């Protein structure tokens, strides 16, 4: 599979990778800014939550693979895109009763894009298939975890009473490495991987699919309040 890196570089030019990153950053920033509005944050809080949500996962990815300084600190577009999303939300956010729906949809879109971008970039930098999946997952969920922590919420990733969140990202990342393994990685299959993660997350929210808890669980711990 050594030739896959060369194939990857041919299929995913720097401009394509950059565009994919910016689209994912915008989607995640929208979800972070919408959550800030729901939490009644001021304009600075909206901007901070948008930046952290958008850049947190990618920053972690770049530090792990040694792509330093991280793209978030070398590309002005990475910094300005979340601010643009925050500005749009500040003036054009939906009615209060619809904000949660917007958070979920934009977060799902970012999840799909980032699990694919994180996995492919990790492999490009020489990580194995398993490590690439793991880093793709971390890229996708890292910003959301930071967002929830700053908003004083238990991260959705850790809550048993939340619909599947990490699993869709894992499916998208795993699809990418399977395509790499079978020399089928191309823009079309990458798009399908992102759409699979996005669709699975939306279906999980629609039908409330959740991961199982411990077998024969005896704990009487109460559900975490919203």
pTM of the model: 0.84
Chunk the chain into consecutive blocks of 10 residues (it has 226) and report each block's average pLDDT, rounded to whole numbers: 52 71 86 90 96 94 93 90 93 68 82 91 93 96 93 88 92 96 89 95 94 76 53
| pLDDT score, position 9 | 55
Q: Quick count: other Cβ atoms within 10 Å of Cβ 158? A: 12
Structure tokens at 22: 């910016």
| pLDDT score, position 220 | 57
Question: SS in 3 state form for the chain?
Answer: CCCHHHHHHHHCCHHHHHHHHHHHHHHHHHHHHHHHHHCCCCHHHHHHHHHHHHHHHHHHHHHHHCCCCCHHHHCHHHHHHHHHHHHHHHHHCCCHHHHHHHHHHHHHHHHHHHHHHHHHHHHHCCCCHHHHHHHHHHHHHHHHHHHHHHCCCCCHHHCCCCCCCHHHHHHHHHHHHHHHHCCCCCHHHHHHHHHHHHHHHHHHHHHCCCCCCCCCCCCCCCCCCC
């Amino acid at each position: 599979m050594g030739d896959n890196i060369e194939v990857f570089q041919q299929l995913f030019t720097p401009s394509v990778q950059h565009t994919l990153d910016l689209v994912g950053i915008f989607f995640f920033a929208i979800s972070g800014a919408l959550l800030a509005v729901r939490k009644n944050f001021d304009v600075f809080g909206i901007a901070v939550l948008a930046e952290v949500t958008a850049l947190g996962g990618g920053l972690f990815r770049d530090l792990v693979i040694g792509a330093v300084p991280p793209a978030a600190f070398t590309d002005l577009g990475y910094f300005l895109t979340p601010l643009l999303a925050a500005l749009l939300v500040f003036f054009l956010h939906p009615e209060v009763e619809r904000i949660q729906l917007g958070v979920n949809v934009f977060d799902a879109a970012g999840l799909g894009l980032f699990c694919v971008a994180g996995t492919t970039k990790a492999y490009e930098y020489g990580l194995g298939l398993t490590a690439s999946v793991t880093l793709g997952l971390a890229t996708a969920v890292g910003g959301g975890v930071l967002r929830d922590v700053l908003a004083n919420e238990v991260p959705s990733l850790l809550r048993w009473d939340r619909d599947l969140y990490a699993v869709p990202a894992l499916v998208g990342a795993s699809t990418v490495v399977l395509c790499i393994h079978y020399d089928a990685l191309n823009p079309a299959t990458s798009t399908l991987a992102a759409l699979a993660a996005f669709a699975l997350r939306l279906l999980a929210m629609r039908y409330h699919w959740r991961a199982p808890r411990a077998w024969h669980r005896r704990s009487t711990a109460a559900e975490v309040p919203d």
